[in-house]
Amino acid sequence: MVNLNLALATSADIPAIQTLAQCIWRAHYPAIIGIEQVEYMLDKFYSEESLRQQMVEGQQFWLVQNPELKNGQSLGFLAVSDQREGRYFLHKFYLDNEQRGQGLGKSIFALLLARYKNLRELRLTVNRQNFKSINFYFRIGFVIERCVDIPIGEGYTMADFQMLFHC
């Protein structure tokens, strides 16, 4: 079993988050949304300014780390915000593509739940064509709550499922 932990990220970790996002998004999402939308979304949501703003607005970023790795490089990242009274929103749950399929996602999710002891509900959105991620979320207990279409500018829309996890 791989030894993993979650480290709370700060603004000093923004370059690491950006590097992970660029690698993960460019490997995973072009087949789902096309490379043009991938590049647009990376620019919009993963610029230094945007990540700083997300942190200021209350998103807690967590870096997925394996302390046994000598290089200290993170394997992925998450971002969560407190909505109110035990209700949270999972904005980001990304794992390096080379780490997928090894059962790490379930372990990371358990680590996340342990960080939020008062969590009663956790929501997220996931692209409706992102079948691997949707199936992962089903396996860890999420259900589809509804379909959402979120315009993000430049004619792009996120066609997502909103999913819900109850503790």
Q: Which domains does the chain have, with CATH numbers?
A: 5-119 (3.40.630.30)
The Cα 72–Cα 50 span in angstroms is 25
Q: Which of 62, 59, 58 is nearest to 5 (CA)?
A: 62
Q: CA–CA separation, 88 vs 84, rounded Å?
A: 7
Amino acid at 32: I
- Provide the residue-wise pLDDT of the chain in tens; the chain has 167 residues: 578 999 999 999 999 999 999 999 999 999 999 999 999 999 999 999 999 999 999 999 999 998 877 676 899 999 999 999 999 999 999 998 766 666 789 999 999 999 999 999 999 999 999 999 999 999 999 999 999 999 999 999 999 999 999 98
Query: Measuring CA to CA, which residue among 56, 142, 53, 48 is closest to residue 93?
Result: 142
- Token representation of residue 93: 């749950």
90 sits in which H/E element: strand 87-95
For position 66, what pLDDT does the model report? Answer: 86
Terminal alpha carbon distance of the chain: 25
Quickly tell me which residue has 């990304």 as its tokens.
94
pLDDT of residue 73: 80
- pTM for the structure as a whole: 0.94
- At residue 1, the pLDDT reads 56
Contact 14, 51 (CB under 8 A): yes
Neighbours of 59 (CB within 10 A): 18
pLDDT for the residue 75? 92
The alpha carbon of 43 is separated from its chain's Cα centroid by a whole number of angstroms, namely 16
